[in-house]
A and B are shown apart, each in its own frame.
Chain A
Amino acid sequence: MSAGALASRFTALRQARRRALVCYVTAGFPDAAATVTLVQGLAAAGADVIELGIPFSDPLADGPVIQGSSQRALDNGMTYEGALALIGRARVDVPIILFTYLNPLLAAGPDALRRAVDAGAAGVLVTDLPVGADPPREEWLGSSGLAFVRLVAPTTPPARMAEIARHGSGFVYLISRLGVTGERADLPPELPLTVQRLRSATDLPVCVGFGIARRDQATAVGRLADGIVVGSALVAAAGRSIDGAIDLARELRRGLDAAGGELPGAGAPTRAAGEASRATPPA
Chain B
Amino acid sequence: MSTLATHDRFGIFGGRYVPETLIPALEALDQALTQALADPAFRSEIDDLLGTYVGRPSPLSTAPRLSALAGAPVYLKREDLNHTGAHKINNTVGQAVLARRMGKRRIIAETGAGQHGVATATICARFGLQCVVYMGTEDMRRQELNVYRMRLMGATVTPVDSGTRTLKDATTEAIRDWVTNVNDSHYIIGSVVGPAPYPRMVREFQSVIGREARRQILERAGRLPHTVVACVGGGSNAIGIFSGFVDDRAVELIGVEAGGEGLDTDRHAASLTRGTPGVLHGSLSYLLQDAAGQVHPAHSISAGLDYPGVGPEHAYLKDSGRATYVAVSDAEALAAFELLSRSEGIIPALETAHAVAWVAAQAGRWQADQPVLLCVSGRGDKDVGQVSALGLGAGEAAGGVGRAGAAGAAPVGETSRR
Q: Residues of A with Cβ closer than 8 Å to B?
A: 56-58, 60-61, 63-64, 67, 74, 79-80, 101-108, 127-135, 150-157, 160, 163-164, 167, 175, 178-180
Contact = CB atoms under 8 A, between A and B. Distances in A.
Interface string B257-298: 000000000000000000000111110000101011111000
21 contacts: A56-B293, A56-B294, A58-B168, A58-B172, A58-B281, A58-B295, A60-B19, A67-B162, A102-B279, A103-B293, A104-B294, A107-B278, A128-B17, A130-B23, A131-B2, A132-B2, A153-B19, A155-B20, A157-B24, A163-B1, A164-B20
Given A61-B179, A67-B162, A156 B24 contact: yes
A63 B180 CA distance: 11
A153 B21 contact: yes
A127 B278 contact: no
B16 interface: yes
Nearest to B19: A61
B161 to A, nearest CB: 10
Contacts of A74: 294
Q: What range describes how many residues of B lie at the interface? A: 35 or more
B25 interface: yes
A16 B76 CA distance: 74
Contacts of B293: 56, 80, 103-108
Nearest to B294: A57
B163 A57 contact: yes
Contacts of A128: 17-19, 279, 282
A163 B175 CA distance: 25
B5 to A, nearest CB: 11
Nearest to A179: B180
A155 B1 contact: no
Given A130-B18, A133-B15, A179-B176, A106 B278 contact: yes
5 interchain residue pairs of minimum CB distance: A107-B293, A179-B180, A153-B21, A104-B293, A57-B294
Most B CB contacts (10 A, CB to CB) among A57, A129, A135 go to: A57
Nearest to B277: A106
B245 to A, nearest CB: 31
Most B CB contacts (10 A, CB to CB) among A107, A132, A152 go to: A107
B295 to A, nearest CB: 5
Contact of B20 (A64, A105, A130): A130
B23 A178 contact: no
Nearest to B196: A133
Contacts of B20: 130-131, 150-153, 155-156, 164, 175
B3 interface: yes
B19 A135 contact: no
A80 B293 CA distance: 10
B2 A129 contact: no
Contacts of A152: 20
B172 to A, nearest CB: 5
B4 interface: yes
A164 B23 CA distance: 12
Given A60-B19, A153-B19, 10 more contacts: A57-B295, A60-B172, A80-B292, A103-B293, A128-B279, A135-B3, A155-B24, A155-B25, A156-B20, A179-B180
Contacts of A164: 20
B183 interface: yes
Nearest to A126: B17
A32 to B, nearest CB: 15
Nearest to A167: B1
Interface in B152-188: 162-163, 168, 172, 175-176, 179-183
Nearest to B25: A155
